[in-house]
Copies of this chain bind each other. A is one copy, B any other.
Amino acid sequence: MEQAVAYWKVRGLKMTSVRKIICQTVFSSAEAFDAEDLLQRARQKDGLISLSTIYRTLSTLQEAGLLVEVEGIDRKKCFSVVGTQTSAASHVVCQDCGQVIPLENPCLSLRESGPAHQTGFSPKKISLRIEATCDELERCGTCVRSNKTKE
């Protein structure tokens, strides 16, 4: 969050009230979210925020390296907050509820960049995407996560 502010300040960009709200919402997310989700949640604080602003803000946060993009189950762009990882990210994408859960995977980059290098490429972003079904749904008929009692 402070990093986002810093990023904007450095580039001579403005910290507006809308951006503040979006940032607060973004950085309090445990899972990945798509633009629509974020709009929903941000509008609870300011009902006028528009989708385009959401997209624009997500772009800059991504450029700032504070978010990574993941493809959701329905091909939507999803975003998740990056921790300390450099350029590699792992996510589980649930086929049942569509939820996208970040996974710790500290050595992914180390492990996987080698082979790519050997084929004549320099890896820039590595992402592991695991599409999966929810065990709980399988057992109980409902998936706790699908009711989005989140945050």
A residues apposed to B, CB below 8 Å: 71, 90, 92, 94-95, 101, 103-105, 111-113, 115-116, 119-136, 138
Contacts and interface: CB of A to CB of B under 8 A. Distances in A.
For the residues of A in contact with B, the DSSP-based class is strand
Contact of A121 (B71, B127, B132): B132
Given A103-B116, A115-B103, A130 B121 contact: yes
B127 A132 contact: no
B119 A92 contact: yes
A130 B138 contact: no
B128 A133 contact: no
A17 to B, nearest CB: 31
A134 B115 contact: no
Given A71-B71, A115-B103, A119-B103, A125 B136 contact: no
Contact of A130 (B103, B105, B125, B135): B125
A128 B128 contact: yes
